[in-house]
Amino acid sequence: MFSPRHWLKQRVLSHVAARNDARRRVLGQERGLPPASWDATVSPEGHLIVGSCDVVELARRFGTPLYVVDERRLRKDYAAFLDGFRRQYPNVELGYSYKTNPLPDSIRVLHDCGALAEVISHFELWLALELGVPPERIIFNGPAKTAAALDLAVARRVKLINVDGLDEIDLLATTVARHGATQRIGVRVVTSVGWQAQFGLRLRTGEAREAFDRIRRLPQLLPVGLHVHLGTGIKHVPTYLQAIREMLEFARELRDATGIDLEYFDFGGGFGVPTVQPFDQWDSRLIQNNLPVGPVEADATPRIDDYARGISTLMREFYPENRLPTIAFEPGRALSSSAQSLLLEVLAVKRGRDGVTRVILNGGKNYALPTGYEYHEFLPASRMNEPLADTVNFYGPLCHPGDVLFVQKPFPRIAAGDIVAVMDAGAYFVPNQMNFSNPRPAAVIVGDGDVRVARERERFEDIVRLDRAARATTGSDARTGAGAVRIPTS
Ligand SMILES: Cc1ncc(COP(=O)(O)O)c(C=O)c1O
């Protein structure tokens, strides 16, 4: 039956899709973003090359799904961030947000570059210590910290604990007193911009001030800083400047009223990268209606220099040159996103009589959750030199209608066994992956043609290792699962 509402909706969406198409042509993005965006190249036989390694070869050697971390790119993105700020400001520290991609080998590379550890849970704190990070290089954040985690942090004398609530101040004070120590602390604040919700203490309502009044009465707590984290994938310098201005005004008022002179400003992470674009409302509607999303506005992403210039100018508005406080950042995405890709293999190609080519990959939302809310490039890693010949919908292997990875992607004609690379898999892929009917992927680190295994592929036995009902036997075949698990019948 004809529905005027449905008709109108389709007309509007088709119009938006046509406009996107035209814009894609102007931007030269008919094939998507070029491999050079990730410092990748293409071999003469049309294979994607990352870190001087042929990824089709990597897939053959290590199997798929496989994360590939490009060590050189990781180091490059770290250096670009730090140098960008150091060119504009003398006292800058840079941490890495463990939650973004807790692959210990990638974290190790970033620590080798000089990164502080920014951790938000007992596990992450433990991991940092296990990796040998000196406690005086660990910043402990998080919306609520357990007593056990605070105890460990205080016992090991971490660099800074950013308190997130009034009750946490009391818990921390008791913990520090028990250890007979003092602890440097900051207060996570909420400004008029950025994430609000369950985080931190609001500047506007007086909560942040109340926190400092409470801290002042507790001599074992040394208030040294303010912390903010505004969100993720942000591509807007004024948002940072607004938040930072509010923090600096607060710090000035605090100093005038109490004499507390803060010296450490941790402005969090949140910086977007050019090759990932959060979906807007139009994009989500287009996907639901099997239409391609808008092109990536890679040039619209501010450069680190833009942030650095704005923030350092602002700091100098509030402090004289000889008393400039330390500013710190703890990005995740900006450091790790573009250095990691996810190789998936084509399991099946279903060419529908409705003209839609549906490609089932051997990984879906179980490994690539962010593809549901932001644009990630999909490259035909085994057919890079072939012409576009198809328009493809990519799905994962989960038996779930929500396991959609990309709709209406112009692609070469592909077949089962081909390798597809999901780019920018270095932020929020690993921490969001799950065992939905499948083991989790292996990871390798590549650099200058060398490869080392960073994480082994999970085996079937690993998935049920902690289940009492299933006792793993030794010597089972991890590929077939044969004999892997004995389920007691009674
Ligand atoms: C407190 C804190 N710091 C840093 C980050 C890293 O954010 P991003 O990966 O967007 O840089 C997060 C992410 O949620 C966070 O919550």
The domains of the chain, with CATH numbers, are: 24-68+338-455 (2.40.37.10), 71-333 (3.20.20.10)
Cβ neighbourhood burial of 231 (10 Å; 0-12, 13-18, 19+): middle
Atom of ligand 1 nearest to the CA of 333: 9
Cα dist from 129 to 104, 135, 336, 410, whole Å: 12, 7, 21, 46
DSSP string, 337-393: GGGEEEEEEEEEEEE-TTS-EEEEES--TTT-GGGGTEE--EE-TT-TTSPP-EEEE
Lowest mean pLDDT among 3-7, 199-203, 451-455: 3-7
> How many angstroms does the Cα of residue 17 sit away from the middle of ligand 1?
32
SS3 407: strand
Condensed to tens digits (0 to 9), the pLDDT of residues 7-65 reads 999 999 999 999 999 999 999 999 999 999 999 999 999 999 999 999 999 999 999 99
Instruction: Say yes or no to pLDDT of 489 above 60.
Output: no
Distant-in-sequence, close-in-space partners of 456: CB < 8 Å, separation ≥ 6: 442
pLDDT in tens, 296-332: 998 899 999 999 999 999 999 999 999 999 999 999 9
pTM attached to this predicted model: 0.94
Name the band, by pLDDT with cuts 50, 70 and 90, for residue 140.
Answer: very high
- The pLDDT value recorded for residue 475 is 54
Neighbour tally for 416: CB within 10 Å = 11
State whether the beta carbon of 188 lies less than 6 angstroms from ligand 1.
no
Q: From the CB of 162, is ligand 1 less than 6 Å away?
A: no
Q: Which residue has the higher pLDDT, 486 or 414?
A: 414
pLDDT at site 413: 97
Nearest Cα neighbor of 332 from 268, 422, 267, 421 is: 268
Which of the listed residues 77, 78, 97, 163 should we mutate to test ligand 1's pocket, taking the one with most ligand atoms within 8 A of CB?
Answer: 97
DSSP designation for 30: T
Task: Name the pLDDT band for 444 (thresholds 50, 70, 90).
Answer: very high
Question: Would the CB of 447 count as within 6 Å of ligand 1?
Answer: no
